[in-house]
Structure 1
């Protein structure tokens, strides 16, 4: 998911708890495996109400099950039954958690399909958007769309609403005859019903976390394309063909580049992109069916082509980072968002060259540093111990996105291109259709590089803040020696003024010669002496931007 710039700059959430090691767990206790959701829905647009007839097939993970507990927020249940027997099931419900008593204890490897008939007027999860009209002219139809991340799906679907469980889904959605429905996976049927309504039947046969399940209802112009044998659909408002070409025209090239960089083919059977009104984020990577804010996509025709390109590449990158391989819990969200943000820069590098790649990394760093400078109180690390799925601003911020992108870049620089892209491929193939934690990412890149990377993840992923480095430069005419004095301290760290381990490239230029050295800055204060013979004309620290996430100041040259 890409957040809007406005959301990135507001809501300062402070005081994250101290994280001491990667052994901390934010996983949820789970007793069953959700196998398949069959979701039947119809709507009352006037009352913003949804009517559901849905099923969940599940099985115990290990121990026998007598009860099943699901997430369900403010749902009115008409009945809950065992699908196979038709028998009613007893249940307890407090408006947030649904506890169902099974008629018979379920043993390991036994499946049960629960059927729910219900209605709801969701406060989250499903959003009813009125039409846009000018007099008698309808400028945009009414819309209904979902937003599942972080945990909003259970506001309209009884479910296990946490990312560590993946299931296949099926959607049978009844709408007005002129409406379109864009859902997940393959469209099995689009049927005009006898009552004048229309029913769309989608099936997503690849397991995915339930927050990635989505649909959009409305009236759209569909522009079709293909990448190899993968159908692409661009759903925009009627008359928006020019905007669609500007916003989505590079989709096929992005897919090609991402496949080439990762060594992993696009993993799903289609890719749709739909614009909607009132969307609170820039975009959301619903599986096979990304949703965008129309205000963001319209920028493609108003001087914002580069912003829209980054947004579109970010959401597509989630097909690999977030949808194929998914964070196990919300503290691990960086494993989705930081890599997808980095892939924005990687696409620029492949299409525009290294200079534009570094420009994007530099811009990401600047946005994070500006955000971080707003307070002296510690924020969270990439491993986010303050993540709260009920408060977006604790998770979807410049730490997770912008700092994360720059840190992934630093990992690439630290272990080298070959090992980095090998690690990316290993990450995506090892955990294909699975969930990951930070320790899994670390171990994967250690395997790819043959190096121990605990120190790297400790300081860049688990620790909050960044290093502040000051450099004093003095040149002694008598000895011809340039002395550089480095001092470092931690900024906004949760664990006090700890020291960073920073391999800094030093570049010095005189009128006669250039000098390059590397200083491993690991102490509070260190010196580096370089015999230049004559006064240096230029001193640069980290000129190739290998470690962008830092606050660096270099004092004017002193001569004695």
Structure 2
């Protein structure tokens, strides 16, 4: 799942405790083997109820008298044992969290039984989400969808809700005949019943984990393709049918590519992708039927700067890595998410080329070296709760681990090992040692140190590399130091010393295992280019010291994208006008848009009139992604009248990209808080992909000093508006109070409005409300009672955490800074959840 994304979108550090505070996490003993779950259900979207029978086939792995199933707040009417001859009622205890069934006798090992559980659930707080139109929100569709990962399916059907349990499943769902039903596997039957009811029968005949079971009910347009005689379907809102193939149409090519690359044909009977209302993340890889958020649908204007392909590739990759082979415990989650993240890179490399793949790796490298990756290992045996595992460690860092493993063993061995791993553990669970064993047996390499360094310890190498030319001796001297805390990492490091006459160039590779090592390399000529990690095969922070001409050559002539971007970052740290000129030249003439984007960012950091003028000119660049980067970078030039005028001029132009226009609004509000709010209010009438223009306009109103904007913002916090717009308005109201002196009455009224949103039906709205109140700080003391209730009783742990943080900010009087940052991160996570990490960052929002 993507998480993601986004995964911005992976900020759960407030919920992460230190390892010493948590017990060792191990996979629980399996007393029984759940073999099959059949759900016969009636789904009522009007009453928001699910009623029916769960029939469970199981066998005893250990002698047992009791069957224990995860089942939260189920109304259980009856439990029976089913045999060919009769039906025997069983006694049971329903604790509210668990269903404990007395089997009437002690089963011996291998004994098989079938039990039927008659139950119902009504609008559960998690797992199963209902939507319907109301007077306040008449445009909300009729819909129900489920989200199981990590352990939410227990809220709508009884199961062993842990990835170590694998079973076949089938769902028979009766619904109003106006609705479609999607679930796992193959559609066996679809038949009308009496009273405008239709029954769908889906069967998943290969084992999978409980959290991958899905049920979606709603009104959809269905667009179908075929792949090797299997249905490939896209369930989309009817009004977006025209954009379905534009958004999803490359799925069939991805199926060809991944099936060939992994040496394992796509393993399921169908592949469906369904776009649902207010999904909690970017996507969820339910077996054979992925659930997607609404941002995955792109029209032509959205595609100018964004693409759904990374999310689609990520979730499709999960069908092998996460669904076919599932992590045995959440501590090994990287075997799901790291693999899916690397599937994005593999597809990028195949479809778009090496430069695009390297730029994606560069973006992931920045995330893989921040946040929780510095504190906790990828394989974390002391995680506080499963949801805390879904962060930068198991997405970008784990993807990078696979990239390094690929370079360590070579392409042929890497993909051959993946084929063996996927074949040996197909329809089963695996843990990290299983993967290492497969690679070791195939290649003869131990790889123990590799897996220790990269999966069992936090951090990454921080390298200071000093390269100099000793002309008298004809030597290149290279000093390599590891400066990160802790023991040195062990890794191979490749260097290329490139001369004008390439016949005299030198390539060498050394195993680095010490804190410091020095190399002397004889050279006939002084190199013109020093290349460190030329294959971009090492996750590390690399800080080089070398002569200016080597940096210049690296900026203009280095073959790899990563090397050129490192040169851009080097010159971004300079105050020399000549170095700004180099960055400007890169922005204007660079042959790859990604390097141009990084040059724009660097010019925003370095500042100065020449940087400003180049970025203003860049607002008219032909490439929309470059225009976007220039617009964002201009937000660094606070109180610059020339920038404000240029951004206002840009708003008068017919900008084809939604995201460029949104960024222009963002930057204008950052550099000039005296802009007439009417300019931003008129943008509220502009529709766009995920309403990003409206979001930016609302955020901009929060920077105003005009009291009248509070009324506008208040209206946009209310139901009936797009969720992310409501969140933008909430953030903007808090920002307005922080930035302006208002009357006590206005302050009280605004805080009252924000605190009422702690009772909103939407989890994201409640989170935004809590964080906004924390951003206001001490003046929001009147909201403490509602925040206390949220901190203790909200059904979502993330809301409880945010409410606790807000209470701390109010109590300590330290709002504004940290809480504003948290609120902005939450908004960014939602806006960018289709970009990794985005990619997850996308995925965390389902936890």
Normalised by the size of structure 2, how large is the TM-score?
0.61
Alpha-carbon deviations, 1:296-335, whole Å to 9, x = none? Answer: 3347751267541011111111111111111111111111
Match of 1:125 among 124, 127, 130: 127
* 3-state SS in 2 of match to 1:439: helix
Q: 1:304 to 1:43 in 2, by over 3 A?
A: farther
Structure 1 Cα separation of the partners of residues 13 and 187 of structure 2: 42
* 3-state SS in 1 of match to 2:75: strand
Greater fraction strand: 1
Match of 2:19 among 6, 17, 20: 17
> Which has the bigger relative contact order, CA under 8 A and spacing at least 6?
2
Structure 1 Cα separation of the partners of residues 303 and 223 of structure 2: 23
Q: 1:478 to 1:558 in 2, by over 3 A?
A: farther
Aligned: 1:443 with 2:445: no
Aligned residues: 540
Structure 1 Cα separation of the partners of residues 315 and 135 of structure 2: 30
Aligned: 1:383 with 2:344: no
Contact 2:324 2:426 in 1 (8 A): yes
Structure 2 Cα separation of the partners of residues 354 and 408 of structure 1: 17
Give 1:167-186 correspondences, 5 Å limit. 167-186=167-186
Once the two structures are TM-superposed, the CA of residue 50 in structure 1 deviates from its matched residue by 2.2
Contact 1:83 1:115 in 2 (8 A): yes
2:244 maps to 244
Give 1:279-290 correspondences, 5 Å limit. 279-290=279-290
* Deviating more after overlay: 157-166 vs 112-121: 112-121
* 3-state SS in 2 of match to 1:382: coil
Aligned: 1:470 with 2:467: no
Contact 1:483 1:528 in 2 (8 A): yes
* 3-state SS in 1 of match to 2:390: coil
Structure 2 Cα separation of the partners of residues 98 and 15 of structure 1: 30
1:83 maps to 82
Give 1:89-128 correspondences, 5 Å limit. 89-121=90-122, 122-128=124-130
Give 1:297-312 correspondences, 5 Å limit. 297-298=297-298, 302-303=302-303, 307-312=307-312
Structure 1 Cα separation of the partners of residues 505 and 245 of structure 2: 48
1:515 maps to 506
Contact 2:131 2:140 in 1 (8 A): no
Once the two structures are TM-superposed, the CA of residue 140 in structure 1 deviates from its matched residue by 5.6
Once the two structures are TM-superposed, the CA of residue 293 in structure 1 deviates from its matched residue by 0.2
1:539 maps to 530
Aligned: 1:550 with 2:540: yes
Alpha-carbon deviations, 1:200-243, whole Å to 9, x = none? Answer: 11111111111110011000001111101111111111132332
Structure 1 Cα separation of the partners of residues 300 and 378 of structure 2: 31
Structure 1 Cα separation of the partners of residues 350 and 332 of structure 2: 28
Measured on the aligned residues, the alpha-carbon RMSD in Å equals 2.3
* 3-state SS in 1 of match to 2:109: coil
Structure 1 Cα separation of the partners of residues 304 and 403 of structure 2: 25
Contact 2:246 2:299 in 1 (8 A): no
Give 1:221-370 correspondences, 5 Å limit. 221-298=221-298, 302-303=302-303, 307-369=307-369
Contact 2:54 2:117 in 1 (8 A): yes
Once the two structures are TM-superposed, the CA of residue 26 in structure 1 deviates from its matched residue by 2.1
Q: 1:93 to 1:300 in 2, by over 3 A?
A: farther
* 3-state SS in 2 of match to 1:544: coil
Structure 2 Cα separation of the partners of residues 133 and 262 of structure 1: 51
Greater fraction helix: 2
1:484 maps to 478
* 3-state SS in 1 of match to 2:536: coil
Contact 1:246 1:301 in 2 (8 A): no
Normalised by the size of structure 1, how large is the TM-score?
0.91
Give 1:412-431 correspondences, 5 Å limit. 412-431=406-425
Once the two structures are TM-superposed, the CA of residue 92 in structure 1 deviates from its matched residue by 2.2
Structure 2 Cα separation of the partners of residues 277 and 386 of structure 1: 35
* 3-state SS in 2 of match to 1:265: coil
Structure 2 Cα separation of the partners of residues 181 and 467 of structure 1: 50
1:494 maps to none
Alpha-carbon deviations, 1:428-469, whole Å to 9, x = none? Answer: 111111110000000001122121111110001111111111
Aligned: 1:57 with 2:53: no
Structure 2 Cα separation of the partners of residues 48 and 479 of structure 1: 81
* Deviating more after overlay: 281-290 vs 50-59: 50-59
Structure 2 Cα separation of the partners of residues 486 and 531 of structure 1: 17
* Stretches of structure 1 lacking an aligned partner (at least 5 in a row): 492-496
Structure 2 Cα separation of the partners of residues 69 and 304 of structure 1: 52
Q: 1:82 to 1:272 in 2, by over 3 A?
A: same
Alpha-carbon deviations, 1:91-146, whole Å to 9, x = none? Answer: 223211222111122223322111111122311110012348999xx756211000
Q: 1:292 to 1:558 in 2, by over 3 A?
A: closer
Q: 1:153 to 1:388 in 2, by over 3 A?
A: farther
